[in-house]
Structure 1
Amino acid sequence: MLPRGRRRARGPRPHLLPADARHPTGRGRADGRAGLPRRRHAAAAGRGSAPRGGRAGARAAGPRSREGRRRRAVSDFARVASAADVPAGAARVVNVGGRSIALCHVEGDAIYAIDNVCTHDDGPLGDGTLHADRVECPLHGALFD
């Protein structure tokens, strides 16, 4: 992308990699892997919890029945309201297991549940404004989906 007038911006171009990842003279490629950013997780480097020769996401998929389908724990679900209790385009706050949950009735007749606490400023998301499938924090305007 070029700035207005289709001219190149003044000054040096920004670097994509940190200074230690580039060739010392500023030209050419890095020698092997020396100087490149290190991988942060053992699983990314081929070490860790993924079974050898198996599917990498096999354990992350959750418990499975004998037929190989994922099971759901019935105790994870709790009936807290009916669809008629949450008007379209609005949110309603309910308490479930000691947690405050905001039920948001978004466009398309879907109702989503989200923690009623903004992760940024502890604002009550249930008091926020709905925008399509997102709720806006009433304290500082952050959007959550």
Structure 2
Amino acid sequence: MKDQNKYWVLLLLALSSFFYNGSLQAQNPQIIKANNNNLNYILNNIRTSFTSETKTISVKLYQVSNKSGSAKQPETDEVTDNFYVAISEFDEQPKQMLFVIKNVYAPKNITLSPQPDQKIKLTFVYKDKGQPKKYTATLSSTGVEE
């Protein structure tokens, strides 16, 4: 009787390890064409990106070029940029948000600065009617405060 029990235990162990190993093997990677025109445009026109973190959130900022002539400056093809601001909590199921700052002309001095209150300060300088202006926003797990 002991030999029969031993046989079944060994058989169960062998079968379970077979199924266990088979279920952990990765599937072969597969590449497919993505048919999202907006995402395609954004990813292909990222000028630069910035990242900053606190203990509670991560912020990623993507500077994306708009189409030629979007700055509407006479006799030029200058462009404006959109800034995509992605905010994510650090959590197993993080709250995630995406914001867009549209049509920024000639941005420079772009910074993301972590603050002591676990927020991140976004600042940059841009041109409005030929004059430099400063943009400031506070980014947090609840969104954007201008």
TM over 0.5: no
> Greater helix share, 1 or 2?
2
TM superposition score normalised by structure 1: 0.25
Bigger relative contact order, structure 1 or 2 (CA pairs below 8 A, ≥6 apart): 2
More strand by share: 2
